Amino acid sequence: MGGAGAVSLSGEAPRTIGGDMVVKDGSRVLLTLASLIIIAAGLVLARSLLVPLLFAAFVASITAPLVRWLTAHRVPGFVAVGLGLLVDGLFLLGIGLVLGDAMLHIGDQQDRYTQRLWELAEALSGMGELYGVDLDPGSLRSALSPDSVVATLTNLIQRLLALVSQLFLLLFLVAFMLAELGEWSAKVRALLLDREDLAALQLAASDVRGFLRVKFATSAATGVLAFAICAALDVDLAVLWGVTAFLLNFIPNVGSIIAALPPIAIALLLHGPGTAALVGGGYLVVNTVIGSILEPRIMGRTLGLSPLVVFVGMLVWGWILGPVGALLSPPLTVFLKSWLEHTRDLRWVAVLLGQDAPEETAVEPTPQ
């Protein structure tokens, strides 16, 4: 019984035996999944090497348009690269200063935050008794003891110091990548003699560059507006929440939600549910206007990643590469999907990653 509207993963008509449809690509799917598992395991083992390389490539991709613009205006190449590195260094230094200031502020306000948390725990315990729920504020008091808070802050400081020590390596990698932009493009063109493979790689790279340009601009706007909301409502660490909104907005759909949780919690802790609701409402308006209206109009639907794929991609890349992988998951997934779309045998994987299902083609019934 030949059915209409069926199509195999590779785009070919499926075989039929005795009028019953037979999946043609089962072994191909299993082989692809097995290969992905092996590749993922190898990436996990090489995490310590891949993370600085990928993060440097991410920073270099954002800085490359500035370097190209400077060289196009007759600025010497080494000067253009130096200016690009200066911008990157100042930006990373600014983030480090914001984080350091936030830790100092938390240390200074430790007693205030602890007292407010204890008061909130007592209030929640009283509300729990009204509804027959046993909430023990004593466990929260022990968790928020001065020793545990100091230990947490010390751990954060150590992590930041380790990050600062890696920034020099990162800037060196970015410098070499920017200095050899033209040479690497020529090498790739020389290696990929097949024009279809070269075109697929160029289109994938173009999609990632377009994604990063749009995301950088919209993330900057989101960060500024998030800072303005928190500052206007007197939420502590407003600069930190603006920087957090900027960074996490690179993760579509999910990042903006994660970025809104800490300032809402701080507003609830220090100012009560009314201010927390205002902060949440402000974030909702900003993310709706920028993420749901402005970004799609600028970027279009060319990327075509479904929200489920974005979320799963963040989990997978985060598992493979750690926190940096979660941050870089959107451009990595965009590159992977765009490249797979222009392959013959793995195009079906791009279909699974996409947001819209392809148009189905009818299969001619098998004569009986």
- Tell me: do 206 and 342 sit in the same domain: yes
Domain boundary among 149, 180, 211: 180
Residue 90 and residue 131 in one domain:
yes
Domain finish residue from 115, 145, 180? 180
Instruction: List phi, psi (to 5°) of 202.
Output: -65, -40
Reading the chain (368 residues) residue by residue, the pLDDT tens digits are 444 444 444 455 554 444 444 445 667 778 878 888 898 888 888 888 888 888 888 888 888 888 989 998 988 988 999 999 999 888 888 887 887 788 788 778 777 777 777 777 666 666 655 565 555 656 655 655 555 655 665 666 566 656 666 777 888 888 888 888 767 666 666 666 566 666 767 777 777 777 788 888 889 999 999 999 999 999 988 998 999 899 888 887 778 888 999 899 889 888 888 999 999 999 999 998 988 788 777 765 545 677 778 788 888 888 888 878 888 888 888 888 877 777 777 777 777 777 665 555 444 444 55
- Number of domains comprising the chain: 2
Note whether 146 and 276 are same-domain residues. no
- Number of CB atoms found within 10 A of residue 221's CB: 17
Distance CA 276, CA 281 (A): 9
Q: Kindly give, in sequence order, each residue whose CB lies less than 8 Å from that of residue 250, ignoring residues fewer than 6 positions away.
A: 215, 219, 327, 330
Residue 362 lies in a domain: no
Assigned domain for 2 exists: no
| pLDDT of amino acid 170 | 84
Residue 361 is assigned to a structural domain of this protein:
no
Q: Are 205 and 335 in contact (CB under 8 A)?
A: yes
Same domain for 249 and 276? yes
Do the Cβ atoms of 286 and 226 come closer than 8 Å?
yes
Q: What is the pTM of this model?
A: 0.71
CB 269 within 8 A of CB 113: yes
315 and 345 assigned to the same domain: yes
| Domain match, 48 and 174 both | yes
Task: For residue 360, tell me if it sits in a domain.
Answer: no
- Domain boundary, last residue among 151, 180, 209: 180
Report CA-CA distances (Å) from 278 to 34, 238, 274, 275, 303: 48, 15, 6, 5, 33
Same domain flag for 345 and 278 = yes
Is 19 a domain residue?
Answer: no
What is the tens place of the pLDDT at every residue in 85-120? 999 888 888 887 887 788 788 778 777 777 777 777
Q: Are residues 100 and 240 in the same domain?
A: no
132 and 217 share a domain?
Answer: no
* Nearest-5° Cα angle at 46, 40 to 51: 100
Asked if residue 171 and residue 137 are part of one domain, the reply reads yes
Tokens representing 63?
A: 């800085």
Q: Is residue 188 in some structural domain?
A: no
The answer on 212 and 169 residing in a single domain is: no
Check whether residue 166 and residue 220 sit in a common domain: no
Task: Indicate whether 118 belongs to any domain.
Answer: yes
Q: Does a structural domain hold residue 128?
A: yes
Is the Cβ–Cβ distance between 134 and 288 less than 8 Å? no
**Structural domain of 146:** 24-180
